[in-house]
Amino acid sequence: MPLDLIDSHFHIWDLDKQNLPWLADCPSIAKTWIFPELVELYAQHKDVNFRGAVYVEVDGDDTTVEEQHIAEAMATHPEILGKVLRTEVTQRIRVPQGANGIRRPLHTPDAPPKTCLQPDFLTGLGDLADAEIPFDACVRTPELRDVYDACLCVPSLSVVVDHCGNVQKIDEKYVEDIKALASLPHVYCKLSGIATKDRGFVRDVYTLLEESFGAERLMYASNWPVVELYGDFHEHLDQVREFFNDDANVFADTARRVYSLH
């Protein structure tokens, strides 16, 4: 029976319209990417029923242009089921129209450590919680504890930890921080962001996450096309499928529930 799959994290951009300064350091993906390319990748997996995907903001320099771009893409491609958009998380937060989630990157140079613990930021997170809009936390691994502390301040907020916490090495602090985050019932984690070539490392990370969160709070995410910087799209999908045995929560239900997808 084919696997029903929702990709909880993909990116597209049009470099004729958008400027993504960080691409200067990533020449291999510094081109325009369109959604049909992702659809074609999933079509190569004959036992996968690709239900759709969730767009995630791309850290460009103009959110208005980005919002228009993804709105046009969603109008053309109904398989784009939702969108996680960027906004500054402050008092009087502006939630973009139709956003299924919010991401303000915390791993970039303009976000020093403890950014998510600043009073204005916590107020904005509280507003998201009141609106029942989840926050995607893309954070440097040593600062996972900051996310945990922020979650304690806003306990009703749903938080999605992107890319397994951007882990490069499993050390005692990472294990402790992941277990702390997983102890909070409204925290989830995306299975993405780790190098596919080191299968032992991948297995160890997934083992920790499964033991900590349980499959019902994990979600498959391709991170396409950025995945090509550190791994391989197909290999990543195959590894998640093999480890989690095509679990329905991991591959569709968690994303559908967290992002209110229809």
Rounded to an integer, the average pLDDT of 162-170 is: 97
Q: Looking at residue 262, what is its pLDDT?
A: 82
Q: Return the CATH number at 81.
A: 3.20.20.140
Rounded to an integer, the average pLDDT of 87-107 is: 95
At 220, the pLDDT band (50, 70, 90 cuts) reads very high
Mean pLDDT for all residues in the chain: 98
Tens of pLDDT along 132-161?
999 999 999 999 999 999 999 999 999 999
Neighbours of 114 (CB within 10 A): 14
pLDDT exceeds cutoff 90 at 116:
yes
Which residue, among 261, 236, 227, 205, has the nearest Cα to 6 in the 3D structure? 261
Positive or negative, the Cα torsion across 204, 151, 157, 140? Answer: negative
Rounded to an integer, the average pLDDT of 123-129 is: 98
Structure tokens belonging to residue 111: 């976000």
Tens of pLDDT along 49-81?
999 999 999 999 999 999 999 999 999 999 999
pLDDT > 70 in the chain, percent: 100
At 1, the pLDDT band (50, 70, 90 cuts) reads confident
Structure tokens belonging to residue 75: 């109008």
| Pairwise CA distance, residues 215 & 189, whole Å | 10
Q: Residue 112 belongs to what domain range?
A: 3-258
Label residue 178 exposed, middle or buried (CB < 10 Å: 0-12, 13-18, 19+).
buried
Q: How many domains does the chain have?
A: 1
Structure tokens belonging to residue 193: 């962001």
| Pairwise CA distance, residues 201 & 207, whole Å | 10
CB 20 within 8 A of CB 66: no
